[in-house]
Structure 1
Amino acid sequence: MVRMAELNHTIVLSHDKRAGATYLTEILGLAQPQPFGPFQVVETANGVSLDYLDAAADTEIASQHYAFLVSDAEFDAAFARIRERGGEYWADPGRTRAGEINTNDRGRGVYFEDPSGHLMEILTVPYGG
């Protein structure tokens, strides 16, 4: 039997794992992160977890990109929380369209940074959808 591979979890290197994981759960309206070994674990609705891990103090963290598919109502709520916190946001991953959202593929999307500089994205329609 051939089984398709599914993403189960990924490690997110952070300057402060608790701050990063809590920020994401608060923006997305998810359950609070849970500790597991050295990680703070953020569970998404489809069972994939983001396992936040503290980087060594002298480690430079390379920005990674994480995209989250959300409903229109979830987008509205998350986008409101981004703006309430006064965070910057962009319509594009190159961060050239500041203060805008995009309407790609007949949906909506926006990019924003977490406390460690990772580029997060919320979108209401998958690319090519």
Structure 2
Amino acid sequence: MPVSFNHTIIASKDREESARFYRALLEVDAAPSWGPFTNIQLSDGTLLQFAEPPVEIQMQHYAFLVDDALFDRAYQRLCADGITHWADPQMRRPGETNTGHGGRGVYFKDPSGHAIELITKPYL
């Protein structure tokens, strides 16, 4: 069996709010949830599980490869919702997108403070 990524747990201040944010951003449906997890499933089958840990949340980075049409819709939602975003991971170019690696990209933070990146072309 080839290796594929199956799931990850994303620490959240409010797991329901985080799941709603990612569902709207990535235009995916909720997945069955259980125990301490609120889940969504990406189109490739990867499960994102949101949980509220009993510890301080450390920022993580999550990058999502999306097509141009979804990038446009997601970027419009970010702007309409007043979400601060940057063209670069150092957060020095606010209110912009980038055209690195032959595609487009944008960086912003989710409701729990994680650094999120949307890109339209893979780095490799």
Judge same fold: TM > 0.5, yes or no.
Answer: yes
Partner of 1:77: 73
* 1:4 CA displacement: 2.8
AA of the residue aligned to 1:120: I
Superposition map of 1:28-39 within 5 A: 28-32=26-30, 34-39=32-37
Partner of 2:2: 4
d(CA) in 1 for partners of 2:63, 2:40: 14
Superposition map of 1:21-32 within 5 A: 21-32=19-30
1:62 maps onto 2:58 in alignment: yes
Q: Secondary structure at the match of 1:36?
A: coil
Q: Secondary structure at the match of 2:63?
A: strand
Partner of 2:95: 99
Partner of 1:41: 39
1:113 maps onto 2:109 in alignment: yes
| Of 84, 87, 93, the match for 2:83 | 87
* 1:33 CA displacement: 5.1
d(CA) in 2 for partners of 1:82, 1:32: 20
Superposition TM-score, scaled by structure 1 size: 0.90
Residue segments in structure 2 that go unaligned for 5+ positions in a row: none
Runs of 4+ in 1 over 6 A off after TM superposition: none
Partner of 2:51: 53
Residue segments in structure 1 that go unaligned for 5+ positions in a row: none
Q: What percent of counterpart residues are identical?
A: 43
| Of 13, 16, 32, the match for 1:15 | 13
CA distance 1:79–1:33, shift in 2 (3 Å): farther
AA of the residue aligned to 1:13: A
* 1:34 CA displacement: 3.9
